[in-house]
Structures are given as C-alpha cells and as structure tokens.
Amino acid sequence: MENKVKSRFAPSPTGVLHIGGARTALFAWLFAKSHQGECFLRIEDTDLERSKPEHTQAIIDGFSWMDIQFDDEVFYQSDNKEKHLTAVQQLIDSNQAYFCNCSSERLDKLRTEQQKEGLKPKYDGKCRELGLIEGSDTVVRFSNPQEGSVQFDDLVKGVIEISNNELDDLILIRSNGSPTYNLCVVVDDMEMSITHVIRGDDHINNTPRQINIFRALQAKEPVYGHVPMILGEDGKRLSKRHGAVGVSEYQQLGVLPEALKNYLVRLGWSYGDQELFDHEELISKFKEGNINNSPSAFSIEKLSWFNKEYISKVDSELLLSQLSNMNSGFSEDEYSLSVLELIRDRCSLMNDFSKESEYFFNEVEDYDSKAVNKFINEQAVNLLTELLEELKNIASWKSHDIQLSIEQILSKHEVGFGKIGLPLRIALTGSTNSPSIDKTAEVLGRKVVIERIDKAIKVFS
C-alpha cells in the first residue's frame, strides 16, 4: 500500500541509549504502529572515530529490553555511502551543488567578521559561480535556493516557515570524501521510503535544509514532527547531574521496562486523564492522544510511582522468579514468597526488594544507633524480656497470636504500643523501618524471633 506510514529512529552509536532518544524512538514507533505502519531502526554510523560497535549493541539491547520491535533488519548508514555519493553527483550535474576550495582560515575570518557585524554566520557563496573542479582540498556545497522560503506543517508545532536567506550553502561532501549528516539523512530517508520523521526539536534547524535537498533531488520530503526535549526538574537540559540518563542505568536500578515505556510516553503525550497504559493500549490510542508543544520535566519520583504501579500488577511467583535472578537474596521457595508478599507494597524499584528484605535473609549484626538511643532504655529491655517469655509459650505462631501477646503486656503495664513495638522492631530488624511487626515476626519464624530478642536483650542490658 503506497500510503503506508513509514517512520524511523536514527541514533548515532556514539554512546548509550539515552532517555531522550528512547522517548523519541517511542513516539516514532507508536506513531507508525498506531497508523498500521512500519518503523525502522537506522544506525547513523558514518562518524567512524566516535561510532563504536558496543554502542550500537547497547542501543539494540535497550530497545529489545523495552519491547520496541522495529521492522525489518537494522539499517546501517555506512552501508549506503555509494548512494550518498551518487546523489551528490546528481546535484552537481544539475547545477545544484558545486566545488568549493575556501580554506579554513578564510572561513574562520568570514565568521568572525559576520559576528562582529551582528550577522548570522554563514558561507558567503564565494565559489558558487566559479565553476571549480574537484581537487584534493575541495568540498562540495549545496546550492541552496537564494529566494523564497521553506514552509512545512509540523505535526507537533504547526506551520513553520524559514526564509532561504537564513540558510547557507552547506557542505555535502568533505575534502576527505566523506558525506555529511544532512545529505546522508535525506538520501537514507529516500532509500527507505520514509513518509514521516518524528524526532527531537533540536533537529528543527536541519529540517529546512533537508527539505531543500529533497526538492533538489526531485523527491517528496516526509511529514515532520518535532518533539520537545526532556528537561530536568530544574528546567535545564537533562544530564548526568539529574541522575541516570541511560536506559541501561534504569534497568540496573530495577525499573520495569513496561513502567519506563509508559512513563516516557506520558512525558509529552496525553490521552485525557489516563496515566497507565499497557503495550497494546499505547499502540491503539497514540494517534488519538495529544503531543505537547512544550518541554517535559523528567522526575525520578514520578517514574518510581509508575514502577510501583507496575510492580503491584506482577504475579507474585513471576516477580519472585525475577528477583531470584538478581542476586537479591530471594530464592524460589515458600519463605521468599512470603517475604515478597509482605514487603512488595513498600518497594518502588526492583532493587528496593533487596534493601527491604535484608533482615529476612541475614542476621542482624548492627542496630540503628539513633533508634537505640531514642527507644531503648531499662523499661524497653524489661518489656522485651517479658515478651520473650510470652512468645516462647504461644501455641500458634501466627501474626494474630503474636499481636495478642504484645497487647497483653501493653495492657498489663498500661503503656502505648510504641513502648514495646519499636524496641521489638529494633531487635528483629536492626531499625524501626519494617512492615507490621507481628506479620514480620510471623514470617521470620519462632526460632529466629526468639534468638534475636534474646540477643538484643543481652546487647542492650
């Protein structure tokens, strides 16, 4: 079908897959899928010095983890060099490109003079009409139209118009024979029959340049949509100072791929007041939603909320299987399952399970000194000693019976729950941070609870 939507995501493999890139890729992928179209992954690897195979693999692995399945095989820009050069020759033959031998010294001087005069730095067209031939020091420049303007209807930002006087004769081929970014992008989009380009608005200045190249090559340009960037909560461009910025880092932190995907889509896209979307919902509803025309702020706290929502939906046994593969202390047994079910509502990230469950799988070696100073005194030790004898003799080791034993002592001495509950938490967990102490004691088991209380009494006496 000729009108089939075809989009692409085209990262340079010069680093890991960043959050901003992943969000842009999601928008491009969802736009295509919501229109029953195709979306391709194109690796723009022509910068040989900075492009690394390990970065390419990291990008591919990141998308695989997020369950973003691109169509067809991965397209590598470097494989298309001959067609890049052929397109430039076509432009030269049609007098829409020319050779230029201006030295870097001349160009630097020109730029400095223009800046002093308050002008936008751009090439002055010195070689445009000289009819130079190719030489060892020549580049090929595009003959950008000198009149009129470039107008396009952006899917996100609406109608944008740029005067051709704002654009210069950009370099298509460097003196070393390598094609430049704007040329390669156009030729690759033509080769892949791309109909829609969804990308970050940091590329918006390239769009009129690329449209003019499309038209010079007598090709129809794609429809463009420029997505606003993701900012940190301080309103500045997202960077390392705002926390992890690579997709793999969030995977290591214990963010579920479904949660990250949902959160990234909601950074700049909305569908009424709905927050949570499963994979199929995102595909079916994306084209009906709205893409915001302003930057979105990335919030670790909000991402954690999304992740907690997704954790709450995962089947306990499946969650246990995942945790058991994370060197978290969990094993696929009934004890670990009971620990998981007790603490899961306290965990926002998968890595939180390790922290929240440590005292279930390891002996308590240290006690929180602040908590000890605040809550442990002679009365606390006496109450723990009395509770220890009660717990040794209860018939049923269930949270209800453990709670009754605690309440009997509280009633007898006419004190509040904190007088024994907090010392008991410290004895069993090393701190005052735990789920309900009676349920915690039930899961730990009679033997461990008695041993830990006995040890705490000796330490605190």
| The predicted structure's pLDDT at residue 2 | 56
Query: Do the Cβ atoms of 121 and 114 come closer than 8 Å?
Result: yes
139-142/158-163 β-pairing:
unpaired
pTM, full prediction: 0.86
Query: Do the Cβ atoms of 179 and 206 come closer than 8 Å?
Result: no
| Alpha carbon distance 99, 102 (integer Å) | 10
With tokens 């000289």, the residue in question is: 130
Domain 363-461 matching CATH 3.30.1330.20: the answer reads no
| The predicted structure's pLDDT at residue 240 | 64
Tokens standing for 82?
């001959």
| Alpha carbon distance 195, 203 (integer Å) | 17
Instruction: List own/partner pairs for 321-327 with CB under 8 A and 24 or more apart.
Output: 322/350, 323/350, 323/353, 326/254, 326/350, 326/351, 326/354
Task: Indicate the domain borders of the chain.
Answer: 1-73+228-313, 79-227, 315-360, 363-461
| Alpha carbon distance 189, 214 (integer Å) | 9
Which helix (H) or strand (E) segment holds residue 6: the answer is strand 6-9
Measured between its terminal Cα atoms, the distance across the chain in Å is 82
Strands (E), 80-183: 97-100, 139-142, 149-154, 158-163, 171-173
Instruction: List own/partner pairs for 145-153 with CB under 8 A and 24 or more apart.
Output: 145/212, 150/207, 150/208, 150/211, 150/212, 152/207, 152/208, 152/211, 152/221, 152/224, 153/223
Which stretches within 267-398 are classed as H helix?
279-285, 300-313, 316-324, 334-343, 352-361, 369-375, 378-393
Average pLDDT by stretches of 10, the chain with 461 residues: 85 88 95 96 86 89 93 93 96 96 94 91 92 92 95 95 94 93 96 96 94 96 94 77 77 92 94 92 93 89 94 94 86 95 95 94 94 94 94 93 94 92 96 94 96 95 85
| The predicted structure's pLDDT at residue 242 | 62
| The predicted structure's pLDDT at residue 243 | 61
- Describe the chain by its helix, strand, coil percentages, rounded to 5: 50, 10, 35
The full 3-state SS of 116-134, as one line of letters, equals: HCCCCCCCCCCCCCCCCCC
| Alpha carbon distance 120, 123 (integer Å) | 10
Q: What is the dihedral of CA 416, 420, 422, 426, to 10 degrees?
A: 180
Total length of the chain: 461
99 strand-pairing partners: 140
With tokens 């002008």, the residue in question is: 119
Which stretches within 4-80 are classed as H helix?
19-34, 53-65
| Alpha carbon distance 399, 443 (integer Å) | 9
DSSP, collapsed to helix, strand or coil, labels residue 48 as coil
Domain 79-227 matching CATH 3.40.1280.10: the answer reads no
Same fold for the domain at 1-73+228-313 and the one at 363-461? no
Which CATH number does the domain 1-73+228-313 belong to among 3.40.50.620, 3.30.930.10, 3.40.50.300, 3.40.50.11390? 3.40.50.620
| The predicted structure's pLDDT at residue 1 | 44
User: Which residue, 167, 86, 189, 62, is CA-closest to 121?
Assistant: 167
